[in-house]
Structure 1
Amino acid sequence: MNRVVAQGTFDILHPGHVHYLREAKAMGEQLHVIIARANNVTHKPDPVVPGAQRVEMVEALDPVDHARLGDPEDIFVPIEEIEPSVIALGHDQHHDIEKLEAQLADRGIGCTVERVSGREAGDNELLSSGRIIDKILAERS
């Protein structure tokens, strides 16, 4: 079975997330999504939506076969358990592909790392959870 892993925070779902997950699913037969735990999110503000709710929402999306929270301490644990053929990164995720491939190799995880394309925002479309939050705060204040 050709498994693909996608990962992210998925705080407030938007069309950019759907685009990412559709492209990731097209890379294999089965899509596993690892949802970042709040304590592992270090590159942006903590998620607003609780982890279990983010898992439930992502798992309900058509391209997703399995979704789960990441490990609280080691981001590679679920990847080792899933044994993917491909790790699909979002177009704007902060991971360095070469560094990630080296870390995977050090742990004996034999998979490729691919980056999906970005999605162009249409009129009045918000493709960022942060931008959605900002707009809500601006309009409701």
Structure 2
Amino acid sequence: MRVVAQGTFDLVHPGHVHYLREAAAMGDELVVIVARRTNVDHKERPICPATQRRDVVDALEPVDRAILGHESDIFVPIEELEPDVIALGHDQHHDEEAILAELDRRGIDCELRRASGTEPGEDELYSTRKIVDRIIDRRG
């Protein structure tokens, strides 16, 4: 069973690893789609280039393969990969009903599942924004 996870993965942190471990457990193969800067419109644009983010994600143990997302249509890689499951992160902003409607419109038959969240340990940061804020606070 092929599982697809997706995200920006800028400054990879333990929350990302938790998400990808859970996604990998949903099937036999985990392919991760790393968003391009042009598709990141719900938060600050990534700091690291897309190829660097992809390479870091590809090196993580739960990941079988990491690819770059399409420049303009986030569903193109889904069409090409034909996953059985799309694993969403617990806090990802996606509208599940809208995703399911678009998958249906394109004739893509797969299931959506949400990974669980996990709480950071003391002094840990599970947010790129919080990591950047701490760097600015401590290093100026």
- Stretches of structure 2 that go unaligned for 5 or more consecutive residues are none
* CA distance in 2: counterparts of 1:120 and 1:73, whole angstroms: 33
1:34-88: CA deviation from partner (whole Å, max 9, x where unpaired): 0000010000001001100000000000000010110001100101111000000
* CA distance in 2: counterparts of 1:113 and 1:98, whole angstroms: 10
- Aligned position for 2:57: 58
- Aligned position for 2:82: 83
* CA distance in 1: counterparts of 2:67 and 2:47, whole angstroms: 17
- Aligned position for 2:27: 28
Q: Note the C-alpha offset of 1:3.
A: 0.3
For 2:60, give the aligned amino acid: L
* CA distance in 1: counterparts of 2:13 and 2:50, whole angstroms: 17
* CA distance in 2: counterparts of 1:83 and 1:39, whole angstroms: 23
For 1:19, give the aligned amino acid: H
- Aligned position for 1:48: 47
SS of corresponding position for 2:5: strand
Q: Note the C-alpha offset of 1:97.
A: 1.1
Q: Note the C-alpha offset of 1:118.
A: 0.3
Matches within 5 A, 1:1-141: 2-141=1-140
Normalised by the size of structure 1, how large is the TM-score?
Answer: 0.98
Identity, in percent, stands at 61
Structure 1: 4+ residue segments shifted above 4 A: none
Normalised by the size of structure 2, how large is the TM-score?
Answer: 0.99
Q: What CA RMSD, in Å, does the superposition of the two structures yield over aligned residues?
A: 0.5
